[in-house]
Structure formats: structure tokens, C-alpha cells
Amino acid sequence: MADGWQLKDKDGVHHSLSGAKGKWVLVNFWAPWCPPCLEEMPGFNALQKRRKDLQVIGVAVMYRKKQEVLDVVREHAISYPIVLGNEDIASDFGEMQGMPTSFLYAPTGKLVGHHAGPLTPQELERAMARAPEAAGLFTGGD
């Protein structure tokens, strides 16, 4: 996908990669019926609150009703932006090999890569620190 993406969250706020320059950006695709997706959300929430150099954006896909998404956000007290996504938004980012799938962008705006499956806050922090052991976490970057 062209890195000029722009996403509108459930509250009508627009988020773009260019608007987040200087920050790490994690775009996390998830579904309300996906247990691993729900399990990683509290960790992302805590990391988002702790790290001012990180912007997490959750993109909900494959849901039947908007209320399903809103219920998850309320139950997990998610404070990062949540986009009511669809398959078109997902395909703009690239092939998804299941849920959850995350895309990580460096502060320069460059795509580090994508990760299929759940991520822990520790793995994400290692990737952001460019730790050698995290090199394989995100694939397909620029």
C-alpha cells in the first residue's frame, strides 16, 4: 500500500502516517470474535499510555455490527484509536494471513514490516529498539 494511508476512527478523528511522523505507528487489524486479538489489546493499551513515541491504531474487521466493536473497546477500556474497518481497508495494507495482523512503521514513516499473529508489548518494544532477536518479528518491510 502507498504509505499515504488515512484512517478515520470510530469518533470521526482522522489518523494518517504523515500526521504521526516522529512516532512509531502500529496498525493492528483485529476482529471481535478473535481470542488472540482480544488478548493482545490490554498490552497495546498499556504500551500506548507509557510510550509517547508510539501510536497504536486498531482496525476492527470482520464484524457484523458496529456495537460488537464498541462493546470490546468498552470491556477492555481501550484508549487508543479504533477504526471501524472493512475488507477494502485491510486489502489496502496487504495480504492478511489471519487475525490479528499488525503493520509497524518507523518514526521516519518507513514500513518496518508486518506480523501475522499476536504480539506482546515486549516483542513490540524489542522491534522498536531494533534488537537483533526481534529481526524476524516483522517481515516484508521496505
Quote the pTM value: 0.93
CA distance 53 to 25: 9
Domains of the chain: 22-140 (3.40.30.10)
Q: What are phi and psi of 128, to 5 degrees?
A: -70, -30
Q: Which three cell numbers stand for residue 47?
A: 504500551
- In this structure, are strands 139-140 and 111-116 parallel, antiparallel, or unpaired? antiparallel
Task: Profile the chain (142 residues) by mean pLDDT over runs of 10 residues.
Answer: 78 92 94 96 96 96 95 96 90 85 93 93 92 82 68
Query: In angstroms, how far apart are the furthest CA atoms of the chain?
Result: 41
What local confidence, expressed as pLDDT, does residue 69 receive? 96
CA distance 27 to 18: 14
